């Protein structure tokens, strides 16, 4: 056998070994694996909202209820997280409980994934990381609460969520309640346009702001049904624009009073500045401030948001099939 042929064979063996090794760091739940094999609709769900966005013990109860909502509407939930160095696409009850209650669950964006895997650690996945893993697995619909975006004062800090970059590179339809109202919403909308990320309002002409159903900004496109969204997704493939995400902005039904919201936000921003809170620590800090200052109202709204988005995402996934 010639040397080049030996080298080629060796290369194929090494490459095959790498593929097998990579498969060992990704685990599909039985439910998700069966849905994939059957070509059934699947909805990706993030895990950061479970581990970092909601307090215990309500976080586990909400996670379980969200999965049940997706199932009740004919789709399979695929909650995504990393446990002990393994990427899980779909969680069994014990794994879901671990994400909700273990104290060693960090928060992983895309850049953190390989590090967490190699070090055998555990992490909940952000919107960016969840979308990346879901897209890699061929899952096209994703439900979350609120997107990350451009932070206030980003012209000096350059603080912009990795969610935006991820969604500019992934074929994903993401249902959310707009972006978190603690962000610079106008700047975020400008970035979405610059990055050619699709944006439609679900039964609304106004861009929602998480706790608020109207952030004060108009939307150019409005849709009225899950089937209409499914048609847009199919058209994206036909016209070649599916390499970037489609955001479906689904406003919360029961919003916080705007005056109260703005007062709590101003107080939270002032406290964050006084305490030197910066970077990715700002969002959880402000969300916790909202939870305490609103005496649980923001938590109730947050819970409503994720449930509503899971339901709409499931209906879209079913309409696609």
Q: Which residues of 202-215 are buried (b: 16+ CB within 10 A; e: fewer)?
A: bebebbbbbbbbbb
Strands 86-89 and 76-83: antiparallel
| Whole-number Å distance between alpha carbons of 32 and 30 | 6
Catalytic annotation, pick one of 31, 46, 67, 297? 46
- The active-site residue out of 31, 67, 95, 180 is 180
Tokens 């970059």 belong to which residue?
A: 165
Contact between 133 and 45 (Cβ < 8 Å): no
Q: Is 180 a catalytic residue?
A: yes
Residue 46 appears among annotated catalytic residues: yes
First to last CA, the chain: 50
Phi, psi of 54 (to 5 degrees): -125, 145
Any idea which residue has 């650690």 for tokens? 121
Q: Per the structure block, which two tokens stand in for 277? A: 């809170």
Which residues belong to the active site?
A: 46, 180
């Amino acid at each position: 056998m010639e040397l080049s042929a030996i080298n080629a064979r060796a290369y194929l063996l090494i490459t095959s070994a790498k593929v097998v090794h990579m498969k060992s760091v990704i685990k599909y739940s039985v439910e998700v694996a069966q849905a994939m094999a059957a070509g059934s609709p699947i909805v990706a769900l993030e895990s950061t909202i479970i581990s970092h966005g909601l307090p215990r013990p309500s976080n586990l109860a909400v996670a379980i209820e969200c999965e049940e909502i997706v199932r009740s509407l004919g789709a399979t939930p695929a909650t995504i997280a990393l446990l002990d160095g393994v990427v899980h696409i779909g969680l069994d009850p014990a794994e879901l409980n671990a994400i909700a209650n273990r104290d060693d669950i960090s928060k992983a964006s895309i850049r953190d994934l390989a590090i967490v895997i190699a070090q055998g650690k555990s992490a909940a996945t952000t919107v960016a990381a969840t979308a990346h893993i879901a897209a890699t697995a061929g899952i096209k619909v994703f439900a979350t609460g609120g997107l990350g975006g451009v932070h206030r004062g980003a012209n000096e800090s350059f603080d912009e969520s990795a969610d935006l970059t991820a969604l500019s590179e992934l074929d994903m339809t993401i249902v959310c309640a707009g972006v978190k109202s603690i962000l610079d919403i106008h700047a975020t909308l400008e970035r979405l346009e610059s990055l050619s990320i699709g944006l439609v309002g679900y039964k609304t002409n106004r861009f929602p702001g998480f706790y608020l159903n109207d952030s004060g900004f108009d939307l150019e496109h409005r849709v009225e049904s899950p089937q209409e969204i499914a048609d847009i997704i199919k058209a994206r493939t036909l016209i070649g624009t599916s390499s970037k995400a489609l955001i479906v902005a689904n406003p919360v039904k029961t919003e916080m009073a705007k005056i109260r919201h703005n007062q709590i936000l101003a107080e939270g921003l002032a406290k964050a500045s006084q305490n030197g809170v910066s970077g990715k620590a700002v969002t959880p800090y402000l969300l916790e401030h909202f939870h305490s200052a609103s005496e649980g109202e923001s938590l109730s709204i947050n819970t409503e948001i994720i449930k509503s988005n899971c339901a709409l995402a499931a209906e879209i996934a079913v309409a696609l099939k």
